Amino acid sequence: MSQSTFDDDDLFGEAAEETRAEVEEHLAAAREELPDPDDVWVTDAENVLGALNGLKSALDVGDAVDHVRSAKKAYVLGERADAFEDAADLEAEIADMESLVGDIESAAEEVASLTGTVPAIRGALQDAADDA
């Protein structure tokens, strides 16, 4: 029968490994939630509004924001506890994911704006053509 160890250093090492694994799991889950590149690029829409609506749907990041947030919380906890021997890779990956998710959300907002603007412009152009 093996003896359980309750040594503080051993337990801290295990906790550090678990924290790192938690960060990595949340980052992997965030990557899974990101839009498919082809869905953002390819469309079969018949008009601009259809393309914009398709793009708006394609730019949905799902739960990626929550996963990045959870990864960062676990990372900050581990970092402040000085639990990581080398966490530069985690820090860089979190920063990259924050930036990417932020860019996608910004693009989605711009597309949503265009989705409302383009039909209004088309209507105004039709009115101008009818007046001519």
Per-residue pLDDT reduced to its tens digit, 7-40: 888 888 888 899 999 999 999 999 999 999 999 9
**Domain region containing 125:** 5-131
Q: How many domains in the chain? A: 1
The DSSP secondary structure of 9-67, one letter per residue, reads HHHHHHHHHHHHHHHHHHHHHHHHHSPPHHHHH----SSHHHHHHHHHHHT--TTHHHH
Q: What pLDDT score was predicted for residue 1?
A: 42
Gap between the Cα atoms of 16 and 77, Å rounded:
10
Gap between the Cα atoms of 84 and 91, Å rounded:
11
pLDDT, average across residues 64-74: 97
Gap between the Cα atoms of 99 and 2, Å rounded:
47
DSSP state, residue 85: S
DSSP state, residue 82: T
Q: Which of these ranges, 4-8, 28-32, 99-103, has the smallest mean pLDDT?
A: 4-8
